[in-house]
Structures are given as C-alpha cells and as structure tokens.
Amino acid sequence: MRPLAILGGTFDPVHNAHLRVAWEAAELLDAEVRLLPANVPPHRAQPLASPEQRVALLRAALRGQDRLALDLRELQRAGPSWSIDTLVELRREIGPQRPLLLLVGADAFAGLSTWHRWRELFEQAHVGVLPRPGYAGPLDDALERETRGRRVDGVDGLRGRPAGGVLEIDVTPLDFSASRIRALLAEGREPRYLVPDAVLADPGLLAPYRT
Ligand SMILES: Nc1ncnc2c1ncn2[C@@H]1O[C@H](COP(=O)(O)OP(=O)(O)OP(=O)(O)O)[C@@H](O)[C@H]1O
Ligand SMILES: O=C(O)c1ccc[n+]([C@@H]2O[C@H](COP(=O)([O-])O)[C@@H](O)[C@H]2O)c1
C-alpha cells in the first residue's frame, strides 16, 4: 500500500528546504505527502503571520505541481496542534493497514520526547527523520531507548507495516530555515532562491515579515 506521509510545521514562511525535503521524501518513499500547517504550534513562539497568511504562502508555493498536497485540518481545530491528535484522526481515515509516516526534521526529532503523549506517536505512524545540518547530535536517553529497536534501514522495512518504525530518509541536507528568511526580510533583503518564485511574485505574501 502506498504510504501517506505528513510534514507538519509552522511554515512561517514556507521555504524551499521544506519543499525540497518533502519532495525527495515523496520520491524515495513513493508516498503521498501532505504539508500540514499548525494552528497553535506547541513548544514555540507564535508565528508572525496569521494562519490565513501562512496558507496563502503555502498555496502559492505548491502551485504547479501535484506531488505535494496541503492538509488544513490542524487549522480547523482549536487549541494546540498536538501531532498525536492529527495522527489518530488520519489513522481513522486511512484504516489500520496503510503505512502512515510522520516526517520531522532532525531538529524536531531531537525534541520528540517532549511531545504530547509522544510514545503513542509510534502506535499510529512511522517516524521519518529528515537530516538537517547541525542536528546530528546524540538523542536524549528516553528517545534513544524508545527508538533503538525501531530503526529500519530502508523504505522496504516500512512498507509491510502501518506504524512503529524509525527511518532516516536520505534527502539533500539544506542549511536554512524560516528564521533565516524572516531575518533577511526584516533587514530589507530579498530571499530569492530560498523561497519559490511564485511567493516572491506576489508582494503581499511576504509583507508580514517586512518591517
Ligand atoms: N532545512 C531543513 N531541512 C530539513 N527539515 C527541515 C528544514 N527546515 C525545516 N524542516 C522541518 O520542517 C518541519 C517544519 O519546520 P518549521 O515550519 O518549523 O520550519 P523552520 O525552518 O524550522 O522554522 P523556524 O526557523 O521558524 O524554526 C520541521 O519538522 C522541521 O524540522
Ligand atoms: O505534538 C506535540 O507535542 C508537538 C510538539 C512540537 C511540535 N509538534 C509538531 O511538529 C511540527 C514542527 O513543529 P515546528 O514547531 O518545528 O514548526 C508541527 O507539525 C508541530 O505541530 C508537535
């Protein structure tokens, strides 16, 4: 069965690293990949842009391709966007057999043991870790213990089961972030080639980040 993979994020704003790693994950896993903007992101400062502005950025960024889709369910839910709630909901929709993957950058993965009901994440989904330069350090003890027996070497290790594995996905390491793009914009600089041309083409889209 073709896996369903989700990449959740604040997307404040969406940038080419999000898009590229999601694209490569879709290719390598032969998966349906959805980007899921968080409503109230847990564990971080609130976004500069409103949900509507972040969705407009995502829509522009995703235009013209059909490999990556947008899933707005977390914006339709009040309160913090706990990933476990999203995975339980998706699992209910896709049934018990289809592989489901939670894609996370290596930085987000390193903090997984602080997430809400984090051990239950593995009951609902596999975790696909996307390398990110500067985030290859050791894991905390609880996460190391939980993941040790779950690691699988390749995509084939996930295909036959719906959830529970941890896979490093060999995507191109890209060393930039939404924080970097916000900083460039705040200095009056243009983030060309770090965000899609379609985002730059509409001057209103990045207005929330310009001072
Ligand atoms: N350059 C990147 N390489 C791999 N994963 C990334 C990269 N940028 C973001 N991600 C992952 O995408 C998801 C959403 O990230 P998020 O929207 O927080 O972007 P960010 O660039 O990390 O933002 P910020 O700088 O505001 O923290 C997270 O799992 C994050 O780890
Ligand atoms: O469920 C949690 O406790 C939890 C804690 C931190 C982050 N997340 C999710 O991880 C994704 C990336 O978060 P962020 O803050 O790096 O944009 C996003 O989908 C968040 O909802 C989820």
Write out 88-115 in H/E/C secondary structure: HHHHHHHCCCCCEEEEEEHHHHHCHHHC
Tally of structural domains, the chain: 1
State in Å: Cα 200 to ligand 1 middle: 20
Distance in Å, CA 197 to ligand 2 centroid: 27
Per-residue pLDDT of 13-49, as tens digits, reads 999 999 999 999 999 999 999 999 999 888 888 899 9
> Is 0.95 exceeded by the ipTM?
yes
Q: Is residue 178 a part of any domain in this protein?
A: no
**Token pair 């500069």 is at which residue?**
48
Please tell me the number of the ligand nearest to residue 107's CA. Answer: 1
On average, the pLDDT of the chain sits at: 96
CA angle, corner 168, sides to 163 and 173, nearest 5? Answer: 140
**pLDDT exceeds cutoff 90 at 56:** yes
Counting from 1 in the atom list of ligand 2, the atom nearest the Cα of 43 is 6
Model pTM above 0.80: yes
Tell me the average pLDDT across 146-167.
93
Ligand nearest to the CA of 195: 1
Does residue 193 fall inside a structural domain? no
**66 falls within a domain:** yes
Task: Give me the mean pLDDT over the 42-69 stretch.
Answer: 95
Say whether pLDDT at 100 is over 90. yes
CATH code assigned at 52: 3.40.50.620
96 in a structural domain: yes
Is there a domain that residue 179 lies in?
Answer: no
Nearest ligand for residue 75 CA: 2
Confidence band (pLDDT; 50, 70, 90) for 156? Answer: confident
Which ligand 1 atom is at minimum distance from the Cα of 173? 3
Minimum CA distance residue for ligand 2 atom 19: 8
**Residue 190 resides in a domain:** no
DSSP-assigned letters across all residues of 115-164: STTGGGHHHH-EEEEEP-TT---PPPHHHHHHHHTTB-SSTHHHHTSSS-
Residue 186's pLDDT band (cuts 50, 70, 90): very high
In a domain, 139, yes or no: yes
- The preferred substitution site among 81, 121, 129, 177 for testing ligand 2, maximizing ligand atoms within 8 Å of CB, is 81
Residue 151 has what pLDDT?
96
Measure the CA–CA gap between 201 and 157, rounded to whole angstroms.
42
Q: Is 211 inside a domain boundary?
A: no
- pLDDT at 112 (0 to 100): 98
Please spell the DSSP secondary structure of 175-189, one letter per residue.
---HHHHHHHHHTT-
Provide the domain limits for residue 72.
Answer: 4-173
* Residue 201, pLDDT above cutoff 90: yes
